[in-house]
């Protein structure tokens, strides 16, 4: 038993050492520093957006003890991701893992100080479908662990028992739960931010709340709920398109809208600037209004 425990302990230490070569300290806010992942060896770093309060002059502590400066390449607040570029420095790119399973050991790593820190847990929950953050960002799958998120760990990696990155830890995605953004989401968002500086999101300029439709209407539309408009921003796409308080949105561009997540999913970047049909109920009557989707 002692030998087996020693071997496990040594393997975990080796995983931390391997993954730690790509974990950096990010000094992008006044209080405690946070962590980041060296995503590419040409100096591209991914970290949590909420820990980076400025765009330039960001201090980065490298694994070899050296310090460099970095600037923001792009941000996506909806997935709490920011991409930084080192000023004239390079690093060791993280090795990426795949296909974690519930029960697998997982290590959360951080470098809020000069040395790498780690905490151990297991993968406690995995989703099979994409989900949306409270800010509307799409995440490829739900990845939850029971690791303890110590101060300064946000932006650091979740790694498997061999030191390969499974995701990025953020304390801002779901309060009270340790959730990591999986590498598939990281890859997509990082590539987009490096190429364009932002992730395009559609925007209407409305506040809504779910509403249950009257039985005859629900039967006719084959859906039980819609979204009641309770606020319209002046000069927003919704305002310019003719949506008003009291309208109930039941469809966008030919797809049903039952819940808020349905609407967010339909306000995708490819619809920005396009005029699309929005199906509403107004005074109990079915109407279609064509409006141009704005950009968030």
Compute φ and ψ for 131, nearest 5 degrees. Answer: -140, 165
CA distances from 121 to 44, 156, 167 (A): 28, 15, 14
Structure-token pair, residue 172: 């801002």
Catalytic site positions:
50, 80, 154
131 forms bridges with which residues in the sheet? 139
Instruction: Report the alpha-carbon distance of residue 145 to residue 127 in Å, rounded.
Output: 12
Look-up of token digits 């960001």? 58
Instruction: Report the alpha-carbon distance of residue 34 to residue 25 in Å, rounded.
Output: 6
Instruction: Report the alpha-carbon distance of residue 9 to residue 103 in Å, rounded.
Output: 17
Closest CA to 229 of 213, 214, 210, 245: 245
3-class SS of residue 46: strand
Structure-token pair, residue 103: 């029960």
R_g of the chain, CA atoms, integer Å: 22
Q: How far apart are the first and last CA of the chain?
A: 57
Instruction: Report the alpha-carbon distance of residue 25 to residue 47 in Å, rounded.
Output: 10
Instruction: Report the alpha-carbon distance of residue 90 to residue 39 in Å, rounded.
Output: 11
Structure-token pair, residue 47: 């970290």
């Amino acid at each position: 038993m002692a030998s087996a425990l020693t071997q496990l302990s040594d393997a975990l230490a080796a995983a931390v050492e391997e993954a730690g070569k790509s974990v950096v300290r990010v000094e992008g806010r006044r209080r405690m520093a946070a962590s980041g992942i060296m995503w590419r060896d040409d100096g591209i770093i991914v970290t949590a957006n909420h820990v980076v309060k400025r765009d330039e002059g960001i201090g980065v502590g490298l694994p070899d003890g050296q310090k460099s400066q970095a600037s923001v390449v792009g941000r996506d607040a909806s997935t709490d991701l920011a991409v930084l570029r080192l000023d004239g420095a390079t690093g060791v790119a993280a090795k990426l893992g795949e296909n974690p399973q519930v029960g697998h050991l997982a290590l959360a790593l951080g470098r809020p100080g000069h040395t790498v820190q780690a905490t151990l847990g297991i993968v406690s929950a995995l989703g099979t479908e994409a989900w949306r953050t409270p800010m509307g960002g799409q995440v490829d799958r739900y990845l939850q662990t029971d690791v303890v998120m110590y101060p300064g760990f946000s932006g650091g990696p979740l790694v498997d028992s061999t030191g390969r990155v499974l995701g990025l830890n953020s304390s801002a995605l779901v309060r009270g739960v340790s959730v990591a953004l999986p590498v598939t989401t990281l890859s997509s968002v990082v590539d987009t931010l490096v190429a364009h500086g932002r992730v395009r999101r559609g925007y209407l300029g409305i506040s809504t709340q779910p509403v249950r439709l009257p039985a005859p209407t629900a039967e006719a539309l084959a859906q039980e709920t819609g979204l009641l408009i309770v606020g319209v921003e002046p000069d927003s796409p919704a305002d310019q398109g003719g949506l008003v308080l009291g309208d109930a949105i039941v469809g966008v561009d030919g797809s049903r809208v039952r819940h808020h997540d349905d609407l967010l999913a339909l306000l995708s970047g490819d619809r920005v600037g396009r005029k699309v049909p929005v199906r509403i109920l107004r005074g109990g009557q079915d109407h279609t209004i064509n409006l141009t989707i704005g950009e968030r």
